[in-house]
Amino acid sequence: MLKITHPTLLVDKRKCLANINRMAGKARKNKVIFRPHFKTHQSADVGEWFRQSGVKAITVSSVTMARFFANHGWDDITIAFPVNILEIDEINDLASRIHLNLLVESHEVTSLLAKRLLVKAGFFIKIDTGYHRTGLDPENIPEINAVINEARQSNFLEFRGFLTHTGQTYYSKGINEIRHHHESAGKQLLNLKDIYITRFPGMILSTGDTPSCSLFEPVQGIDEIRPGNFVFYDLMQYCIGSCRLTEISVAAVCPVVALHEQRREAVLYGGAVHLSKEYCKVEGRIVYGLVVKYTGDSWDCNFPLGYLTSISQEHGIMKMNTGTRLHPGDLVAVMPVHSCLTADLMKEDWIIF
Amino acid sequence: MLKITHPTLLVDKRKCLANINRMAGKARKNKVIFRPHFKTHQSADVGEWFRQSGVKAITVSSVTMARFFANHGWDDITIAFPVNILEIDEINDLASRIHLNLLVESHEVTSLLAKRLLVKAGFFIKIDTGYHRTGLDPENIPEINAVINEARQSNFLEFRGFLTHTGQTYYSKGINEIRHHHESAGKQLLNLKDIYITRFPGMILSTGDTPSCSLFEPVQGIDEIRPGNFVFYDLMQYCIGSCRLTEISVAAVCPVVALHEQRREAVLYGGAVHLSKEYCKVEGRIVYGLVVKYTGDSWDCNFPLGYLTSISQEHGIMKMNTGTRLHPGDLVAVMPVHSCLTADLMKEDWIIF
């Protein structure tokens, strides 16, 4: 029995390992590089579990995270976020210590980088395959060429290939739409490979959203996958169809502090500073977390108690299912909507078991 | 000129002091106790600014925060969050060191508290004046009496009065609706004072949401106000009408990392892990922050550049106003939607000026 008195993130190592091994196995079977995204957990311990499953190369989304993992012995890191040229000193420092890959999406930034990079680093060109957050249109060959040409002004910048994040899968309605985005993204990258492979025989294509990587095999010809969320999964991924509820490997254990039986609500100590304000829709309702039974040392997702329907800084308001009986002083487990944000917020209050 | 390379929260001390002094002045003028909520800033430095304006008693929303401020010399603290009985050891420790006030809203928890509290502490009864998050119905006199009776089983629990948070003002449409909630909450508490003042001559009534406290004088007969957000204010408060844009005293300075001119978007290094996913509606659009000019050592809110219209873990997507010209490597200032959450998320990256 754990002694928990305040919101605490339980991390189920066995479930994490199963998620890691399943994805690593899929990568091996398909002969693609597995470069998991570490932004989800940002944890040296969880990183070690990946290492034990054979992972040698990782993805992060900031220079700060790259430095953190470099300090924990990771020496092959892609920062899958457009180069922030203001951090060039930190980038030079990192590139002098590890194999660093950067991400660019314009000839302007590539030009700045070419002038200011002082040690060897690889770079990917970010391609927008339909998410429309960042990246170059895959048909914008003139700009892609301009990026490559600017990079050639430097002796230190080495072209690694094309990278995309098919983030629109998160907003898809059903598996067929995800499949469409997944295959379309692959096809768009493969077109670029056709154009550039002769000139850059070692170039690679990198994809990697958790829904696509969980539900499908990598598109034939893709060289690398970079999923991150799958190590924990969460309610959003469950709603998308990427995972089973039993595969979610984290839950925030929260004390019940008040009950309002008339409106069938419980008040939890557990709010936006623990779970984030990310929500998803379950049966048309906005929810901030699925509340299930806490068992004393884990949680039972087959024993749902209700949903968080409202959240403020420290409060979570839970609508109780019919039959749910709670008392102040009880602990319940909240399966988070977006585990990346919850894990980040609760990083000082993890219990790994 | 500040050297900023990654998302950094600028805190304008002069504006904070003006906000503090304005609210402290209003409290003095109305002869009410000013017990500001420190959950917004959670900062020992900002706490000192309050102390210098004469504040001696504060509000927090967790035992952890109470301990933090007790360790920084604050000896009169109300934890305005329903007692979490699982933290009774920490509560006993705190109550032995400072004047501690707790919050209860049921006879069950009061009974547990009466049994387990080992040193003197005050308690308020939380009253629900219409927000329907926590608290007892002010007409539920039997339950209020039950709470008071349970408390009498302890030699340590001292009744302080009734406390409410009129959080529905945050969702009000216009000043008249806020006024209605403000006055209604006051009236409901005053009814309770009529009933209990003879028995508890020293009892006090405590209110304190930032919209009501900013826009109106305290209702006659209210004894204490506990606003918190006003020290920083934010875009939500501006939209509600609680403050001017020039009174917002924090902004997150973020690097521009990419531009997408065709869709008039800039990509900022600054996402949900910095700003939170809190949004508000401006002219019908969902926005995650107002982007204004960064001046090298502050920001100019009279120089708007656009809005954040989408946000993910590290990315902020900004729709640029007509005429806005940005380049990768520029810095811009984001006025946050909810400064309490942004300040909490960015607590390791503050610059006070």
Name every chain B residue with its beta carbon within 8 A of the beta carbon of A259. Answer: 106
Q: Do A272 and B5 touch (CB under 8 A)?
A: no
Measure B318 CA to nearest chain A CA, in Å: 10
Q: Which of A133, A258, A331 sits opposite B317 (nearest CB)?
A: A133
Both A217 and A276 in a single domain?
Answer: no
**Do B192 and B315 lie in a common domain?**
no
Look at residue B3 and tell me if it is in a domain: no
Same domain, B254 and B342: yes
- A134–B258 C-beta distance less than 8 A: yes
Instruction: Measure in Å the smallest separation between the Cα of B235 and chain A Cα atoms.
Output: 17
> Based on the domain organization, do B81 and B178 belong to the same domain?
yes
Residue A287 within any structural domain of the chain: yes
Q: Is residue B91 part of a domain?
A: yes
| Same domain for A299 and A213 | no
User: How does DSSP assign B172-193, residue by residue?
Assistant: -SSHHHHHHHHHHHHHHHHHHH
| pLDDT for residue B329 is more than 90 | yes
Choosing among B126, B128, B265, B276, which should be mutated to test the A contact, i.e. which has the most A CBs within 10 A? B276
DSSP result, A177-208 = HHHHHHHHHHHHHHHHHHHHTTT-TT-EEEE-
pLDDT (tens digit, 9 = 90+) per residue, A32-41?
999 999 999 9
Distance CA A23, CA A298 (A): 24
As a whole number of Å, the end-to-end CA separation of chain A is: 11
Residue of A nearest to B170 (CA): A312
- Of A196, A227, A258, which one is at a domain's C-terminal end? A227
Q: How many Å lie between the alpha carbon of A29 and the closest alpha carbon of chain B? A: 30
A338, closest residue in chain B (CA to CA)? B313
Per CB-CB distance under 8 Å, the chain A contacts of B257 are 81-84, 109
Q: Which residue has the tokens 């048309």?
A: A284
Please list every residue in chain B whose beta carbon sits closer than 8 Å to the beta carbon of residue A341.
272-273, 277, 313
Of A178, A195, A227, the residue at which a domain comes to its end is A227
Kindly list the residues from chain B whose CB atom is less than 8 angstroms away from the CB atom of residue A105.
Answer: 258
Q: Are residues A165 and A98 in the same domain?
A: yes
Cβ of A61 within 8 Å of Cβ of B340? The answer is no
Residues A215 and A178: their CA atoms lie apart, in Å, by: 9
Q: Quickly tell me which residue has 């604050």 as its tokens.
A: B74
Nearest CA in chain B to A278: B277
The span from the CA of B59 to the CA of B216, in Å, is 20
Pair A178, A72 in one domain: yes
Mean pLDDT of B313-333: 97
> What mean pLDDT, rounded, does chain A reach?
97
Evaluate whether residue B13 is within a structural domain: no
Structure tokens belonging to residue B186: 């006051």
Asked if residue A316 and residue A178 are part of one domain, the reply reads no
Residue of A nearest to B343 (CA): A273
Which residue range is the domain that position A296 belongs to?
245-352
Residue A173 pLDDT grade (very low, low, confident, very high; cuts 50, 70, 90): confident
| pLDDT at residue A172 in the model | 86
> Which chain A residues contact residue B132 at CB under 8 A?
263
Domain CATH number, residue A250: 2.40.37.20
pTM of the entire predicted model: 0.96
Distance of CA B150 to the CA centre of its chain: 31
Nearest to B134 among A167, A267, A278 (CB): A267
Whether A263 and A178 share a structural domain: no
The residue among B202, B231, B226 whose CA lies nearest residue B35 is B226
With 90 as the cut, is the pLDDT of residue A174 above it? no
The residue of chain A nearest to residue B167, with distances taken between CA atoms, is: A312
pLDDT score, position B1: 87
pLDDT in tens, B56-92: 999 999 999 999 999 999 999 999 999 999 999 999 9
Nearest CB among B4, B6, B86 relative to A64 is that of: B6
**Same domain as B294, residue B343:** yes
Closest in A64, A82, A310 to B258, CB measured: A82
Residue that is written with structure tokens 């991924």 in the block: A237
Residue A306 lies in a domain: yes
Strands B315-320 and B299-311: antiparallel
Count: domains in chain B: 2
- Quote the pLDDT of residue A230: 98
Is B10 contained in some domain? no
Secondary structure class of B322 (helix, strand, coil): coil
User: How far is the alpha carbon of A291 from chain B, nearest alpha carbon, in Å?
Assistant: 18
DSSP string, A210-274: HHHHHHSPPPTT--EE---GGGT--HHHHHHTSS-GGG--EEEEEEEEEEEGGGTEEEEE--HHH
Q: What is the mean pLDDT of residues A213-226?
A: 97
How does strand B265-269 pair with strand B299-311? unpaired
Give Cα A93 distance to the centre of its chain.
25
How many CB pairs below 8 Å do chains A and B form together? Answer: 141
Q: pLDDT (tens digit, 9 = 90+) per residue, A176-191?
A: 999 999 999 999 999 9
Of A62, A278, A315, the CB nearest to B277: A278
pLDDT digits (tens, 9 = 90+) for B109-138: 999 999 999 999 999 999 999 999 999 999
Asked if residue A238 is part of any domain, the answer here is: no
Question: Which residues in A24-141 belong to E strands, given as ranges?
Answer: 33-34, 58-60, 76-82, 99-104, 121-126
Read off the pLDDT of each residue in B319-329 and give the average, rounded to a whole number. 97
The CATH number linked to B146 is 3.20.20.10
* pLDDT tens column, A74-83: 999 999 999 9
State which residue of chain B sits closest to A270, comparing Cα positions. Answer: B62
Share of chain B above pLDDT 70, in %: 100
The confidence score (pLDDT) of residue B27 equals 98
For residues B184 and B117, membership in a common domain is answered with yes
Q: Which of B197, B227, B257 is the C-terminal boundary of a domain?
A: B227
| Within-domain flag for B5 | no
Structure confidence by residue, pLDDT tens digits, B269-316: 999 999 999 999 998 999 999 999 999 999 999 999 999 999 999 999
Q: Identity (one letter) of the amino acid at A117?
A: L
Residues B286 and B337 in one domain: yes
Q: Each residue of A105-161: pLDDT tens digit?
A: 999 999 999 999 999 999 999 999 999 999 999 999 999 999 999 999 999 999 999
Q: What is the pLDDT of residues B239-272, one digit of tens each?
A: 999 999 999 999 999 999 999 999 999 999 999 9
B83, B267, B341 member nearest A134 (Cβ): B267
ipTM, two decimals: 0.95
Tell me the pLDDT band of B173, cut-offs 50, 70 and 90: confident
Give the nearest partner residue to B269 out of A84, A328, A341, using CB atoms. A84
Residue B296, class by beta-carbon neighbours within 10 Å (0-12 exposed, 13-18 middle, 19+ buried)? exposed
